[in-house]
Chain A
Amino acid sequence: MTSPTGGDGTIRLHKSTYMAQAIRDAIKVFEDFASFEMTRDGDYYLVQVTNLDPEVDGDLAGEFCNFALVHTIERKRRTPGAAGGAA
Chain B
Amino acid sequence: MASHNIESFDAATSTATLALDGGIYPLDVVYGAAYALIDRCYVLLDKESGKGGRYLVHLRGKSALDEIGLQALSGEFGNELLSQALRRKIVKQNGAIIEEIVTTAIAGAAGATMPTDFVVEEEDDDLDFLDDPLGIAVPWEEKFKKDKSDNA
A-contacting residues, B1-56, CB 8 Å: 10, 12-13, 15, 17, 27, 31, 34-35, 38, 42-47, 49, 55
With A17-B45, A69-B43 as known contacts, state yes or no: A1 contacts B27, CB within 8 Å. no
Nearest to B17 among chain A residues (CB) is A1
With A4-B44, A14-B46 as known contacts, state yes or no: A69 contacts B38, CB within 8 Å. yes
Contact partner, A65, options B43, B47, B49, Cβ 8 Å: B43
- A63 in the interface (beta carbon within 8 A): yes
Q: Mark B51-76, 1 if CB is under 8 A from A, else 0.
A: 00001001010100000000000000
Residues of A within 8 A of B34 (CB): 69, 73
Residues of A within 8 A of B46 (CB): 1, 12, 14, 17
B-contacting residues, A18-50, CB 8 Å: 18, 43
A-contacting residues, B93-133, CB 8 Å: none
Q: How many residues of B sit at the interface, in one of the four size bands?
A: 20 to 34
Check B35 against A73 for contact (C-beta < 8 Å).
Answer: yes
With A2-B15, A17-B55, A73-B35 as known contacts, state yes or no: A66 contacts B42, CB within 8 Å. yes
Check B45 against A69 for contact (C-beta < 8 Å).
Answer: yes
Query: A69–B57 Cα gap in the complex (Å)?
Result: 12
Query: A69–B17 Cα gap in the complex (Å)?
Result: 17
Check A66 against B27 for contact (C-beta < 8 Å).
Answer: no
Check B49 against A43 for contact (C-beta < 8 Å).
Answer: yes
Interface residues of A (CB under 8 A from B): 1-4, 12-14, 16-18, 43, 59, 62-63, 65-66, 69-70, 72-73, 76
Interface residues of B (CB under 8 A from A): 10, 12-13, 15, 17, 27, 31, 34-35, 38, 42-47, 49, 55, 58, 60, 62
